[in-house]
Amino acid sequence: MSTTELESPVTANMKKVCPLTEIPRLGARVVKTAAHGNIAVFRNADDEVFALEDKCPHKGGPLSQGIVYGKRVACPLHNWNIELADGCALAPDQGCAKSFAVQVQEGMVFIDI
């Protein structure tokens, strides 16, 4: 899921991650969570933010370490291309990484976990 600045207030189960500026443009940060393991939080060139399980559906590569372009990331292990919006691999590859809802409020990034 993605979003830029949303109007709606941050809902209760949203967890604070970090200020948007601490995620590099066209890059990602890794968030450790108890419930879902590592989650990769990406920021693209338009400051859209996306959160995916940090595990490529192919062989579990850490997507957070891949090259981010447009609204996709290329897995660093075998170059599968993953859609940031839904975590799914680009055809003909098949499989999806779990995706999480994201909100940015006043420059702070929140994820729904």
Partner 1 sequence: MKKMKLVMVGNGMAGVRALEELLKISPDLYDITVFGAEPHANYNRILLSPVLAGEMTIKEIMLNDVDWYEANGIRLHLNKKVVKIDRVKREVQAEDGTVEPYDRLLLATGSNPFILPVPGKDLPGVISYRDIADTDAMIAAAQTHKHAIVIGGGLLGLEAANGLKLRGMDVTVVHIMPWLMERQLDRVAAGMLQKSLEDKGLKFALERQTAELAAGPDGRVAAIKFKDGSELPADLVVMAVGIRPNTALAESAGIYVNRGIVVNDTMQTYDPKIYAVGECVAHRGIAYGLVAPLFEMAKVCANHLAHMGIGLYKGSVTSTKLKVTGVDLFSAGNFTGGPDTEEITLNDPMGGVYKKLVLQDNKIIGGVMYGDTADGAWYFQLLKDKQDVHEIRDHLMFGQNHLGNVGHQGQNKAAAMADTAEVCGCNGVAKGVIVKAIKEKGLFSLEDVRKHTKASSSCGSCTGLVEQILASTVGGAYQAADTKTKPMCGCTDHTHEEARATIREHKLLTHEAVYKFLEWRTPNGCASCRPAINYYMLSTWPHEAVDDPQSRYINERAHANIQKDGTYSVVPRMWGGVTTAHELRKIADVVDKYKIPTVKVTGGQRIDLLGVKKEDLPGVWKDLDMPSGHAYGKSLRTVKTCVGSEWCRFGTQDSTRMGIELEHDLFGMWSPHKVKLAVSGCPRNCAEAGIKDVGVIGVDSGWEIYVAGNGGIKTEVAQFLVKVGTHEEVLEYSGAFLQLYREQARYLDRTIHWVSRVGMDYVKKHVVEDAENRKALYARLKFAVKDYADPWRERAEGRVAKQDFEMLSA
Answer left, alpha or beta for residue 70, where phi above 0 means left and psi between -120 and 50 means alpha: left
DSSP H/E element including 70: none
- Is the sign of the CA dihedral 9, 54, 113, 18 positive or negative? negative
User: 41 or 97, CB closer to partner 1?
Assistant: 41
Question: Which of 1, 3, 10, 15 is the binder for partner 1 (CB under 8 A)?
Answer: 15
CB 55 within 8 A of CB 96: no
Using the rule CB under 8 A, which residue among 17, 49, 84, 104 binds partner 1?
Answer: 17
Residue given tokens 């447009």 in the structure block:
70
Using rule CB under 8 A, residue 41 touches partner 1: yes
Residue 6 or 67 with smaller CB distance to partner 1: 67
Q: Which of 4, 5, 13, 16 binds partner 1 (CB under 8 A)?
A: 16
Does the footprint of partner 1 cover residue 67 (CB under 8 A)? yes
Place of tokens 């899921």: 1
- Between 70 and 95, name the residue whose CB sits nearer to partner 1: 70
Query: Quick one: CA dihedral 12, 13, 14, 15, positive or negative?
Result: positive
Q: Which of 47, 69, 94, 95 binds partner 1 (CB under 8 A)?
A: 69
Return the residue of 20, 49, 74, 102 that touches partner 1, per CB under 8 A.
Answer: 74
